[in-house]
Amino acid sequence: MNKDVAIIGVGQTAFVRSYPGAVREMVFEAFAEAVRDAGITPREIGASLVCSAPEYDKQRSPAGMVAEYLGLNPQPTFVLENICASGTTGVRVAYSLIKAGLHDIVAVIGFQKMSELSSAESQERMGRGADIMWEAPFGTMMPAYYAMHARAHFAKYGTTEEDLALVRVKASRYGALNDRAVFRKEVTKEQCLSAGVVASPLKVYDCCANADGASCLILANAVRAKEISEKPVWILGLGAASASMNLTGRDSLEGLEVTRLAAREAYQMAGLSPRDIDVAEVHDCFTIAELLAYEDLGFAEPGKGTDLLRAGETQIGGRIPVNVDGGLLSKGHPIGATGGSQVRTIVLQLRGEAGPMQVPGAEVGLVQNIGGVGIYSNVIILGR
């Protein structure tokens, strides 16, 4: 188990439906919090990685604007984009830059200001995250894609709409405790089941919402981490994979092969297994996505994720607490900021600083971040 690169600082804005300021101001909030948390100055940062889905940004090449506003010039800066997995792709690249010896400290900055687009414009851009020749022109949108995954899981394993509702009920319970979440109100199973249909069987409460927000992570090599931080959180394992953009190129829809492959790589690098994970953040863009993650990450056998959920094993006090910050379903999903927010949650958990969302005694945590409809997957294992 290598401890070569650590996260020494984390920051995040509140995720909101409409941020009142400019992108640079929103990013500054997350960056300033992360720098304070790390106990460093901007001049100590050797490079910055700016993670964002560009079609939502009016600013062409936002990395230059962000670096200037944050006082990071003349250090190098780069834009990274892997749709919704951009933030954790930034962690993978930052880890690589540090391991290569090019930089001692790297900032991973994620953001999205989605309120500048209408819902229709946003959905159209989301749809173009799929194949623009063979799928997107026919009007396929994210809810419809995940509805197909839900139907496949229902048909093979007997999963029900009530199971999906239980995912959202759990998310709302923890989202109500999270002061950075968009939705901070608990909902009942009955409310979930009676809500309007978006793409059957997915209803309104089965879907996460667009949001504005920013996140920031500060990574350092082992020497600097030990010099600077009294509470470094180490990157123990990294896994990544990709899949056919066109769903007809997939072998099945009952799970996401990219997550299974990325998880296998991360567990192998860390020398750990699913049983060693104390707390997890998974990409619950839709309720069915969380159920798929239970199985793809090895927390449950295929088709048995519902057993974990129904038994309360994915809540605090259960065998593997998942998304105890409310997940995307409650926090909202500002695309470029989501991965960094997930990592921030696990860092706080491993430090024992998660407040009312704290999992007692958490020592090893996992993040799963998906880009598109299972096109990209990053899995990161973190430890104290």
Residues 185, 98 share a domain: no
Domain assignment present for residue 135? The answer is: no
Q: State how far the Cα of 70 lies from the Cα of 66, in Å rounded to an integer.
A: 6
Residues 349, 243 share a domain: yes
Helix (H) or strand (E) holding 68: helix 62-69
SS3 301: coil
Residues 332, 252 share a domain: yes
Residues 339, 269 share a domain: yes
What pLDDT is attached to residue 121? 75
Q: State how far the Cα of 173 lies from the Cα of 184, in Å rounded to an integer.
A: 8
What pLDDT is attached to residue 54? 79
Catalytic (active site) residue 103: no
What pLDDT is attached to residue 57? 72
Q: Please state, as a whole number, how many other Cβ atoms lie within 10 Å of the Cβ of residue 316.
A: 17
Longest C-alpha distance within the chain, in Å? 57
Residues 152, 289 share a domain: yes
Q: Which CATH number is 291's domain given?
A: 3.40.47.10
Domains in the chain: how many in total?
A: 2
Residues 295, 154 share a domain: yes
Residues 145, 76 share a domain: no
Amino acid, single-letter form, for residue 201:
P
Residue 169's φ and ψ, nearest 5 degrees, are -60, -45
What pLDDT is attached to residue 122? 73
Residue 316's φ and ψ, nearest 5 degrees, are -60, 130
Domain assignment present for residue 127? The answer is: no
Residues 375, 245 share a domain: yes
CA 53 to chain centre: 14
Residues 150, 70 share a domain: no
Residues 146, 67 share a domain: no
Residues 161, 243 share a domain: yes
Residues 6+ apart with CB under 8 A from 75: 45, 46, 47, 48, 67
What pLDDT is attached to residue 183? 96
Where residue 108 falls (left for φ over 0; alpha for ψ -120 to 50; beta otherwise) is beta
Place of tokens 């969302």: 357
What pLDDT is attached to residue 242? 97
Amino acid, single-letter form, for residue 270:
A
Domain assignment present for residue 61? The answer is: yes
Q: Which domain holds residue 153?
A: 141-206+235-383
| Cβ atoms 237, 380 nearer than 8 A | yes
| Cβ atoms 215, 340 nearer than 8 A | yes
What is the radius of gyration, based on Cα positions, of the chain? Answer: 19
Domain assignment present for residue 48? The answer is: yes
Strand order in the sheet with 376-383: 77-80, 47-51, 105-113, 212-221, 5-12, 233-242, 376-383, 364-371, 279-281
Q: State how far the Cα of 79 lies from the Cα of 202, in Å rounded to an integer.
A: 34
Active-site hit among 51, 84, 207, 208: 84
What pLDDT is attached to residue 46? 98
Q: State how far the Cα of 32 lies from the Cα of 71, in Å rounded to an integer.
A: 11
User: Which residue ranges in the chain fall short of pLDDT 50?
Assistant: none
Nearest to 146 by CA among 292, 280, 246: 292
Helix (H) or strand (E) holding 161: helix 161-175
Look up the pTM and report it: 0.97
Domain assignment present for residue 126? The answer is: no
Domain assignment present for residue 320? The answer is: yes
What pLDDT is attached to residue 296? 98
| Cβ atoms 192, 164 nearer than 8 A | yes
Catalytic (active site) residue 149: no
Domain assignment present for residue 9? The answer is: yes
Domain assignment present for residue 362? The answer is: yes
Residues 304, 158 share a domain: yes
Place of tokens 């830059």: 97
Active-site hit among 103, 149, 153, 333: 333
